[in-house]
Amino acid sequence: MAGRAGVVGTGLIGGSIGMALRRQGWHVSGVDLDPVRAARALDLGALDAVGRDPHADVTFVATPVGSVAELSRAVLEAGTGVVTDVGSVKGPIVRAVGDARFVGGHPMAGSEQEGVDGARADLFEGRLTVLTPTPQTNASALERASNFWRALGSRVCEVDPHTHDRAVGVTSHVPHAVASALAAALPDDWRKFCATGFRDTTRVAAGDPALWAAIFRDNREGVLDALDRLTGQLTAFRHALETDDVATLMDLLIRGKENRDALGT
């Protein structure tokens, strides 16, 4: 089962992919825009070699969303292996690559803003990776991509790129926008009134603004749609509170609790 893999972008995710594959006997080559980061990945045991491997069976492109399509196309042109990625938005990438050997991926794990020093072989253990094939995707490439992600310890599901982007608009992008808005709306002298609730609710706002601005722009339609969905809920809440409509207030809170409880801790 073990073979040759390439990693483009050796940060937290790319480094973790390298570590997980090497642990299973794969040969892993990796490159990064920042040579210091690639050298660090080698030092940490995430890579066997720094450099491109044209004979890689699979290459994981683990760079910020803006550069995934271009880098994926370059890998596809230089070799015959399958290429997959980890971008948070799939529609634009899948369209821009437009290749039967490319299978868009999005592991529901980790966080783009951390460096290779946070990498660990078990980052994908038991997590879900969403693959986003299209009618154009080669069936064997899809099967191989699916097996590669499973080799990392990940569970795998398939969904079309459009549905993926609308879903993560709701589950990731708008929560980030809201966390950021809550944090931005906090006056300095009220900071002392913040307890664990505020900290939890706004934690993701500490993410890299440039990375997130790119994600929002790449998924503009999905984010705007999810934002309207949220605003609808907040408007209903506001109206219920203003008119002291306790039944509606309770209904909204109970639905929120039920959905949150269903997720587990």
* Binders of a copy of itself in range 233-252 (CB under 8 A): 233-234, 237-238, 241-242, 244, 246, 249-250, 252
**b or e along 70-100 (b: 16 or more beta carbons within 10 Å of the residue's beta carbon)?**
ebbbebbeebebbbbbbbbbbbbbbeebebb
Question: Which residue in the set 4, 67, 179, 225 belongs to the binding site for a copy of itself (CB under 8 A)?
Answer: 179
DSSP 8-state assignment for residue 131: E
By CB under 8 A, the residues from 34 to 73 that bind a copy of itself are none
Q: Is residue 139 close enough to count as binding a copy of itself by CB under 8 A? A: no
Q: How far apart are CA 260 and CA 184, in angstroms?
A: 25
Closest CA relative to residue 93, chosen from 58, 127, 64, 57: 64
Helix (H, G, I), strand (E, B) or coil at 8: strand
By CB under 8 A, the residues from 105 to 124 that bind a copy of itself are 108-109, 111
Identify which of residues 2 and 253 has a Cβ nearer to a copy of itself in the complex. Answer: 253
- Shortest Å, Cβ 105 to a copy of itself: 13
Question: Which residue in the set 51, 54, 98, 256 belongs to the binding site for a copy of itself (CB under 8 A)?
Answer: 256
Q: Is residue 197 close enough to count as binding a copy of itself by CB under 8 A? A: yes
Per CB under 8 A, the segment of 10-18, 27-35, 54-62, 174-182 that binds a copy of itself is: 174-182
- Shortest Å, Cβ 38 to a copy of itself: 27
Specify whether the CB–CB gap between 38 and 16 falls below 8 A: no
Q: Is residue 187 close enough to count as binding a copy of itself by CB under 8 A? A: yes
Q: Is residue 158 close enough to count as binding a copy of itself by CB under 8 A? A: no
Closest CA relative to residue 63, chosen from 36, 30, 39: 30
Q: Is residue 126 close enough to count as binding a copy of itself by CB under 8 A? A: no
- Shortest Å, Cβ 161 to a copy of itself: 13
Backbone angles phi, psi at 102, to 5 degrees: -100, 130
- Shortest Å, Cβ 93 to a copy of itself: 17
Q: How far out from the chain centre does Cα 251 lie?
A: 32
Q: Is residue 229 close enough to count as binding a copy of itself by CB under 8 A? A: yes
Q: How far apart are CA 49 and CA 45, in angstroms?
A: 10
